[in-house]
Chains A and B, each alone.
Chain A
Amino acid sequence: MELNSRIPSGPLEKKWDNHRFSNKLVNPANRRKYSAIVVGTGLAGASASATLAEQGYQVKTFCIQDSPRRAHSIAAQGGINAAKNYQNDGDSVFRLFYDTIKGGDFRAREANVYRLAQVSTEIIDQCVAQGVPFAREYGGTLANRSFGGAQVSRTFYARGQTGQQLLLGAYGALSRQIHAGRVTMYNRREMMDVVVVNGRARGITTRNIITGELESHAADVVILATGGYGNVYFLSTNAMASNVTAAWRAHKKGAGFANPSFVQIHPTCIPVHGNYQSKLTLMSESLRNDGRVWVPKKKGDTRPPAQIPEDERDYYLENKYPSFGNLVPRDVASRNAKEQCDLGKGVGATKLAVYLDFADAIKRDGEETIFRKYGNLFQMYEKITDSNPMKEPMMIYPAVHYTMGGLWVDYDLMTTIPGLFAIGECNFSDHGANRLGASALMQGLADGYFVIATSIAHYLGSNPLDNVSEADQAFVDSRKEVEDRIAKILKNSASGPAAKYTVDEIHKELGKLMWDNCGMARNREGLEKALDELPGIRKKFWDSVYIPGSTKEINQSLERAGRLADFLEFAEIMIRDALSREESCGCHLREESQTEEHEAKRDDEKYSHVSVWEYKGEDSEPELHKEELTFENVTPSQRSYK
């Protein structure tokens, strides 16, 4: 597998301009002769579909949900970053670039990240022009807040529904192109395979979720915008349909998978309350601006929080990190919460929670101020937990939130399969080993609105493409392969449910294995154990999963089973990736790699690279390739929040 990142030459600030200038173009009149498939309608997919269609390409767009507007991006709450420096507090493209690279613990490419920071400003202009109702100052200018511990206010937001409003903007642009006939929208379709013809991605195989039919779609390029794979853990803050299937199938067809073990665990989520739980709900990070995190000093203290006197409380973040206090980065906050619970100081019925207390803030600023700031979140919390954070401290616990890993792409966002592109959370490109708050939305829209069209034009302009049709052998083969796989998933079910497992039972087992061994803190022993146990779970799935119904109808168990089958295969490279990275970096503590003060220790000497995995067939071990990372404009420094 050749990893040519095709980073343009020239100084950092000029790379993107140089690249755009040297790229090939497609004449406007010719564009309608070309077709593109976009899988996914999140921020990345919707914006890419709309933009390509506006430029004249014929676009086919796919999503799992009943409407493109429901993609997982809709759930993002906090905001979107952009280097506008509207607040005149010292922000700049370079600072956003630097913060992002540093936040990612120096595991991302300089060139990509710089481009991201450059186009961030255009994103805001674009969204404003679409009528996205961003929050405003009284004077009518755009409002900003500081987010996730950033030193400048560069986060744009629309109440606690920023993702929703940005997505609806992109969905509007997409809808306009659907109306104009330039985008054909396929709802309720699940992509099952990439079709590769003569070494180039030329189409996909999909399953129609309503009829169960397998369909082939051919095009000149295929763009995956299928989001992240956090649901490998079963419980995460991701939407239920978020999956790795599309990316995994691409991987099996030859696309390298980069840094699969880079997963972000968000510190402020509502804790798990029972084994029936289906997903976790995020509580915005902004709560840490005023809330104080604590646990009882005594292990197994079951007194209600109000009865625990001040001197018997351990404000562990404030004590350990006096300068950042409750605002330490996500990974540090998450890890410390887990540590306290592992020490037996966790609170709540499951003992897997810590307090986030607003009592002092209420005393200081008054009930009204605090309620005005966080009322929405408090109400949401109360709906779910039946407890009022104005009266009792909130309980929070970390949860899987975002996946930095993804399909490996070059500067043009093309995977190692020519003609197959990956954008948004589904690629690995810009966040290194850790993503800053409010940067995923920025990246999704940067890729979709401002980067991908340039790449597509260049690809189409520089490669003569054969004609392919859905009747070609490659498409027939792909359909057959998918059909066989579904038949294999269903094969146990004819004999009834006795002595079988449901899809969710197996998924929960996988999730627990991953959470316990491949979560925030990892060690060789645990990872090896996980690698040992994984085949057993896989076997359980293939030998004894029970799925009612057939494939020729709406069959939600079958949909989930298909996704789980891929998670089960994918989990292996996640664990292997974690094993091979014997350093602590970004989101993860590798327990063997710590400083004396038990802080994460990065190892730039050995691990300043992107780990890219190549699929080598069902029975062979995947192969690890490395893309070395070079830093010419910033000097990697160790993070310290003491």
Chain B
Amino acid sequence: MSSIDLTLKIWRQPNSDSLGSLETYTLNGVNTDMSFLEMLDVLNENLTKEGKDPVAFDHDCREGICGMCGAVVNGVAHGPEKEVTLCQLHMRHFSTGDVLVIEPFRSRAYPIKKDLLVDRSALDRIIQSGGYVSVNTGGTPDGNSLPISSQQAELAMDAAACIGCGACVASCPNGAAMLFTSAKISQLALLPQGQVERKQRALAMVAQMDKEGFGNCTNAKECEAVCPKGISIRNIARLNREYVKAVLSEG
């Protein structure tokens, strides 16, 4: 166990209407076993004790599954480690003297609410437009009446693992939500349950995605590189296919 000294430059913005700026803080004696959010907790305790406003940031599960946390650290969404969320990033990956610039996830579709806390409800609206199988509760057939090959289930699970953190949007140079949208569309397109609404789903979700003001994908692959759950852009390819097929027959 060792400790390090850091300089933090954190985006501070009191609310959506005000202008923000980077504020510099020094934080010494950061235990390297801490998670990134615990490091921010320590900073916030210090700020509180000085009578200053602590940094607002979203978080909940702190084990990399709820998708609530996230910030851009030195230009990389969820920080420099591969396939981890901010809450699972540990301070042992930094060293004394490092300057960390911490900014909120940004996109036209993500209004900043305060400091690092942004509004990602646009992602919810994409799901609302069709990211589900329309079955009511009750009266469903026996679970085993629909055999699904293990490989197919695993492939669907690969896509279903998306935690909706929105880092893909934040890191995409165009602010595209393709990886997020494609993950849900892929999951359901790969499973027999998703077939009935397959085309409608692709049309509706892409229309909603465009309406929310997300950018266009130019296959920059940044999303895949920062995605904490390793969602592959293969899903984006699948979405393109799904969408074209849907447009040509039902659009």
The CA-CA distance from A168 to B60 in the complex, in Å, is: 17
The CA-CA distance from A126 to B130 in the complex, in Å, is: 18
A249 CB-CB contact with B under 8 Å:
no
What chain B residues lie within 8 Å of A380 (beta carbons)?
A: 63-64, 88
What chain B residues lie within 8 Å of A240 (beta carbons)?
A: 59-62
B59's nearest neighbour on chain A, judged by CB, is A240
Is A131 a contact of B143 with CB atoms below 8 Å? no
A159 CB-CB contact with B under 8 Å:
yes
A450 CB-CB contact with B under 8 Å:
yes
B98 CB-CB contact with A under 8 Å:
no
* Stretch of A7-15, A70-78, A289-297, A427-435 on the interface side: A70-78
* Stretch of B43-51, B72-80, B211-219 on the interface side: B43-51
What chain A residues lie within 8 Å of B129 (beta carbons)?
A: 179
Is B33 a contact of A274 with CB atoms below 8 Å? yes
Is A128 a contact of B193 with CB atoms below 8 Å? yes
The CA-CA distance from A336 to B149 in the complex, in Å, is: 43
Which of B124, B138, B150, B157 sits near A137, CB closer than 8 Å? B150
14 pairs from A and B in contact (CB 8 Å cutoff)? A74-B65, A125-B141, A126-B135, A126-B137, A129-B140, A130-B132, A133-B160, A133-B187, A135-B157, A187-B124, A278-B62, A349-B1, A380-B64, A386-B92
Nearest Cβ in chain A — how far from B110, in angstroms?
11
Which B residues are within 8 Å of any A CB, using their own CB? 1, 14-15, 31, 33-35, 37-38, 41-42, 45, 47-54, 56, 58-68, 84, 88, 90, 92, 113-114, 117, 119-121, 123-124, 127-138, 140-144, 146-150, 152-154, 156-157, 160-161, 163-164, 187-188, 191, 193-194
What chain B residues lie within 8 Å of A450 (beta carbons)?
A: 137-138
A385's nearest neighbour on chain B, judged by CB, is B33
Is B146 a contact of A279 with CB atoms below 8 Å? no
Number of A-B contacts (CB under 8 A): 229
The CA-CA distance from A47 to B65 in the complex, in Å, is: 20
Nearest Cβ in chain A — how far from B1, in angstroms?
7
A275's nearest neighbour on chain B, judged by CB, is B31
Which of A137, A497, A554 sits near B51, CB closer than 8 Å? A497
What chain B residues lie within 8 Å of A66 (beta carbons)?
A: 58, 68, 119-121
What chain A residues lie within 8 Å of B59 (beta carbons)?
A: 240
Nearest Cβ in chain A — how far from B168, in angstroms?
15
The CA-CA distance from A175 to B124 in the complex, in Å, is: 8
The CA-CA distance from A380 to B63 in the complex, in Å, is: 9
Identify the 10 closest CB pairs spanning chains A and B, nearest first: A140-B147, A172-B132, A129-B140, A128-B143, A133-B157, A131-B193, A70-B66, A136-B153, A133-B156, A179-B128
What chain B residues lie within 8 Å of A141 (beta carbons)?
A: 144, 147
What chain A residues lie within 8 Å of B156 (beta carbons)?
A: 131, 133
A129's nearest neighbour on chain B, judged by CB, is B140
Nearest Cβ in chain A — how far from B2, in angstroms?
11
Is A65 a contact of B68 with CB atoms below 8 Å? yes
Is A502 a contact of B160 with CB atoms below 8 Å? no
